[in-house]
Amino acid sequence: MGYRPDLGFTGAWLYAGDTVVLHLYFDRPVPQPAAGVIDHMAFTTQDLKAFKARFDDRNYPYKLQHREGGPWQLFCHDPSGAKVELNFSATESLD
């Protein structure tokens, strides 16, 4: 376990070396209807502007958020209904 910013709910980040590889959260109910055996998967990536443009060009639904001091996060769902979280550096821009 290692550093985890205050996200407004309890949890932990598990690391492999200096890289976050698993995000756990606690005291939250399983979403209904359940999307499968996992709530969501998260990936660190880059080029927020290009990713957003691809989603917009295909009219694919997503939610984009940027918490102060944290990464940009783009949330969407895969075809089976599992939530996918794409994380981008806080220093990236949509300009």
35: CATH: 3.10.180.10
pLDDT value at residue 22:
80
Cβ-in-10-Å burial (0-12, 13-18, 19+) of 13 comes to middle
Within-domain flag for 6:
no
Within-domain flag for 95:
no
pTM: 0.68
Within-domain flag for 50:
yes
Within-domain flag for 17:
yes
Q: Give the number of C-alpha atoms closer than 13 A to the C-alpha of residue 47, restricted to the C-beta side.
A: 5
Within-domain flag for 3:
no
- Range of 51's domain? 11-88
Domain count of the fold of the chain? 1
pLDDT tens, position by position, 9-47: 888 888 888 888 887 777 777 667 766 667 788 888 999
